[in-house]
C-alpha cells in the first residue's frame, strides 16, 4: 500500500527486492569485525567463511577476497569446480 500506485515509487520498490540479500551478505563481515574488536583469536586451520566462493563478488580469485580475506585469496578447496 505504501509503495504502490500514485503514492508509491517504483524505484524504491525495486530497491526493496534486493535489500534482504544485501543485508544477509553483510552478516559474516560484521561478525568478523566483532570478533576482531573483542580480541577473540581466529580459529586456526578453519576453512574460509561460508560466503566466500558463493558469488562473483566473493570469488576466491577476486579483488574483494584479496582485500578482506587475503589468506583465502586463490584458495582451492578439494572439490572446487572451475
Percent of all residues in the chain with a pLDDT value above 90, rounded to a whole number: 30
pLDDT at 59 over 90: yes
Give the DSSP letter of residue 65. Answer: H
Burial status of residue 52 (CB atoms within 10 A of its CB: 0-12, 13-18, 19 or more): buried
CA distance 39 to 30: 14
Contacts 24+ apart (CB under 8 A), 56-65: none
Query: How does pLDDT run across 33-48, given as a tens digit for each residue?
Result: 999 999 998 877 778 8
Domain regions of the chain by residue span: 1-41, 47-75
Phi-psi region of 5 (alpha: psi -120 to 50; beta: other; left: phi over 0): left
CA distance 31 to 13: 29
Evaluate if pTM is beyond 0.75: no
Amino acid at each position: 500500500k505504501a509503495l504502490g500506485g500514485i503514492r508509491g515509487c517504483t524505484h524504491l520498490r525495486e530497491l526493496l527486492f534486493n535489500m534482504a540479500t544485501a543485508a544477509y551478505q553483510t552478516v559474516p563481515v560484521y561478525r568478523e569485525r566483532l570478533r576482531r574488536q573483542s580480541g577473540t583469536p581466529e580459529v586456526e586451520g578453519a576453512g574460509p567463511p561460508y560466503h566466500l566462493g558463493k558469488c562473483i563478488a566473493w570469488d576466491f580469485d577476486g579483488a574483494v577476497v584479496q582485500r578482506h580475506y587475503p589468506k583465502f585469496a586463490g584458495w582451492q578447496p578439494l572439490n572446487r569446480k572451475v
